[in-house]
A = this chain, B = another copy of it.
Amino acid sequence: MEMTLKRRETMHRLCGKGLEIFNEKGYYNTSLDDILQELSLSKGAFYHHFKSKEDYFINIVQNLIVQKVYALLIEPLDTNENPLPVIVESLENALEPGKKNEMAYGFMLNDFLTEFNKRNEEISGYLKNILSVWEVNLVAVLKRGKVDGHIARHVDCEGAATYIIASYLGMRSLMTDSTNRQLKYQYIQQLKQYFKSISATHALA
């Protein structure tokens, strides 16, 4: 039992630091030694816990990344209010660089997706799966918005969800340095504009 705790703790430290550095420098541009050095661990330690770099990253995806996406982008959708402002708020939040020197989690998806799309089908599959869950939830919440009279009846909820996701992912390519407040502000403003056009409120510029 006690040994299992030690194991879990080390694995946890590895995953946390790994996500941090992969996110910062990219997966293929980060060597295991880069991570190991920061944690003062050895190759031997690493391979005692993970069977490969790939296995390691899958672990990170399925624990840390999934969790973050849920917390930031999916769970906030679970309310009974008008979905549009709720979506805006979740995106605004997800684009926020972490408080102190945390990561800007909202940014990871586009980067990792792009990196793995052409290189590793398995990992890219897991990542696309996360997106797909997000999409399903967006669609559901948009449809409910229709029923509740917040969203115009003519709206294609699947299309709207796709559009929301695309614009969110695309922001990453533009916001290079995390301090880019201006871009985020512009994005949120235009998103609201778009939302106005699909909402059911009876006209009013």
Contact = CB atoms under 8 A, between A and B. Distances in A.
Interface in A140-184: 152, 154-156, 158-160, 162-163, 165-174, 176, 183
Contact of A174 (B29, B131, B173): B131
A5 interface: no
A186 interface: yes
Given A119-B26, A162-B174, A154 B205 contact: yes
A12 interface: no
Contacts of A185: 159
Contacts of A205: 152, 154
A169 to B, nearest CB: 4
A100 interface: no
B174 A169 contact: yes
Nearest to A195: B197
A130 to B, nearest CB: 12
Interface in A26-40: 26, 28-29
A202 to B, nearest CB: 11
Interface of A: 24-26, 28-29, 109-111, 113-115, 117-119, 124, 128, 131, 152, 154-156, 158-160, 162-163, 165-174, 176, 183, 185-187, 189-191, 193-194, 196-198, 203, 205
7 contacts: A110-B114, A156-B189, A162-B183, A163-B191, A168-B170, A194-B194, A196-B197
